[in-house]
Chains A and B, each alone.
Chain A
């Protein structure tokens, strides 16, 4: 980082005996419950935050399993019915030669959800365990997870668009499968898991590690 080795020291609101609002940045004396500027609920550190993260994380994982096992899309064409799971749809696209689109769907509905489960679990664990990534890197990881989560919804939208559009009676009809529901829920739950995470915890853990590092280099 460009600021590495800077002699200045950063004081957090908690260390100064204050509470900072996570919405508007206003600082309050300890014990204030509601922000006087924006009315948001205040807490020095959201202790229940990690519990909420894990609860949503597990819920998301549970519904992610049927999302992959059951059909996402049901195509009826000339009397034949074809059912496609998420992965099946990607393979189908590949076979048609639409590699670019297959890649978009693959990344949006398989790579991103799986990576998100791993990243959220990693961030939550890094609060209580020592990890190799610096606090700064983990903060970036958290921002990426927060930003990218909603893009997994692409596949659900694709199914909705296809089902509303391809209704040509006998020639071809596409209808949504039950996996669309569990996939949408899985995306929503992991978004909630990321939103419940208190990013200040990353820096608290980082600061302790930094302190230990400093003591070791001095002694």
Chain B
């Protein structure tokens, strides 16, 4: 790892976003991973066709989300009664009484924020994957997508479903609906997608494309 001499020019160096250490701003080859020499945070990790893969995965995630919302999620049968619950019912579970504000939060965490994030990524990375100039407002939209990352909790929800299943298992007969599998697939796709993402690389590419 090359270390920077004192008083470098701003265009020659890049600062580690997590610890502020300076390093030479060089082109990182495909498949290579550039780490911060001090805190070892991953700075850049460009991968072949990463942009195309991310938009494919984001598109897949969107379709899966639509399936997950409208198909029954879980099915519970006890004493001759059957109750089907969809994702929408789960979101609406808090809609009565003092817990009503949680309805909005649930809808946001499970559905709205993940969907917004997928759309934002498609908007920003779509033109890049085709080698076009970045779309208008690509920078603020990508900043939004990054800000939403901790708040899109689809994968946490899936673990919650697993816990809920065990809790009710003794009480009644439970079966898992198609929407649950759609949601599990969605989580896998989301994790894959985030692995391809390298924030600094996206910003650099956006910047280079804008200037060209």
Closest chain B residue, CB of each to CB of A89 = B167
Do A160 and B19 touch across chains, with their CB atoms under 8 A apart?
no
Closest chain A residue, CB of each to CB of B158 = A157
The tally of CB-CB contacts under 8 A between chains A and B is 229
Q: Which residues of B contact A52 (CB under 8 A)?
A: none
Q: Which of the residues A22, A28, A181 comes within 8 Å of B99, measured between beta carbons?
A: A181
Do B83 and A13 touch across chains, with their CB atoms under 8 A apart?
no
Q: Which of the residues A10, A155, A162, A188 comes within 8 Å of B21, measured between beta carbons?
A: A10
Q: Which residues of A contact B90 (CB under 8 A)?
A: 157, 160-161, 164-165
Q: Which of A14, A163, A171 has the largest number of chain B CB atoms within 10 A?
A: A163
Q: Give complex CA distance A161, B89 in Å.
A: 8
Shortest distance from the beta carbon of B179 to any chain A beta carbon, whole Å: 12
A window 159-217: CB within 8 A of B? 159-169, 171-172, 175-178, 180-181, 184, 188, 191, 195, 199-200, 202-204
A136 contacts the other chain (CB 8 A): yes
Do A157 and B160 touch across chains, with their CB atoms under 8 A apart?
yes
Q: Give complex CA distance A184, B5 in Å.
A: 48
Q: Give complex CA distance A34, B110 in Å.
A: 32
Shortest distance from the beta carbon of A76 to any chain B beta carbon, whole Å: 12
B131 contacts the other chain (CB 8 A): no
Q: Which of the residues B21, B39, B102, B203 comes within 8 Å of A181, measured between beta carbons?
A: B102
Shortest distance from the beta carbon of B116 to any chain A beta carbon, whole Å: 16
B60 contacts the other chain (CB 8 A): no
A218 contacts the other chain (CB 8 A): no
Closest chain A residue, CB of each to CB of B39 = A139
Q: Give complex CA distance A13, B153 in Å.
A: 34
Do B15 and A12 touch across chains, with their CB atoms under 8 A apart?
yes
Q: Which residues of B contact A167 (CB under 8 A)?
A: 83
Do B199 and A150 touch across chains, with their CB atoms under 8 A apart?
no
Q: Give complex CA distance A203, B41 in Å.
A: 13
Q: Which of A97-105, A114-122, A125-133 contacts B (4 or more CB under 8 A)?
A: A97-105
Do B21 and A180 touch across chains, with their CB atoms under 8 A apart?
no
Shortest distance from the beta carbon of B114 to any chain A beta carbon, whole Å: 12
Do A161 and B109 touch across chains, with their CB atoms under 8 A apart?
no
Do A151 and B143 touch across chains, with their CB atoms under 8 A apart?
no
Interface flags for B85-99 (1: CB within 8 Å of A; 0: not) read: 100011111101111
Q: Give complex CA distance A156, B83 in Å.
A: 21
Do B43 and A25 touch across chains, with their CB atoms under 8 A apart?
yes
Q: Which residues of A contact B157 (CB under 8 A)?
A: 157
Q: Which residues of B contact A98 (CB under 8 A)?
A: 166-167
Do B14 and A23 touch across chains, with their CB atoms under 8 A apart?
no
Q: Which residues of A contact B19 (CB under 8 A)?
A: 12, 139, 199-200, 202-203
Q: Which of the residues B14, B83, B99, B102 comes within 8 Å of A165, measured between beta carbons?
A: B83
Do B168 and A11 touch across chains, with their CB atoms under 8 A apart?
no
Q: A25-B17, A161-B85, A166-B171 are in contact. List 7 more A-B contacts (CB 8 A).
A: A14-B20, A18-B8, A22-B18, A23-B143, A101-B166, A153-B153, A158-B164
12 pairs of residues in contact across A and B, judged by CB atoms under 8 Å: A12-B21, A16-B22, A18-B8, A24-B203, A37-B206, A38-B142, A39-B140, A139-B19, A157-B157, A165-B89, A168-B76, A195-B150
On A, residues with C-beta under 8 Å from B are: 3, 8-14, 16-18, 20-29, 37-40, 93, 96, 98, 100-101, 104-105, 135-136, 139, 146, 149-151, 153-169, 171-172, 175-178, 180-181, 184, 188, 191, 195, 199-200, 202-204
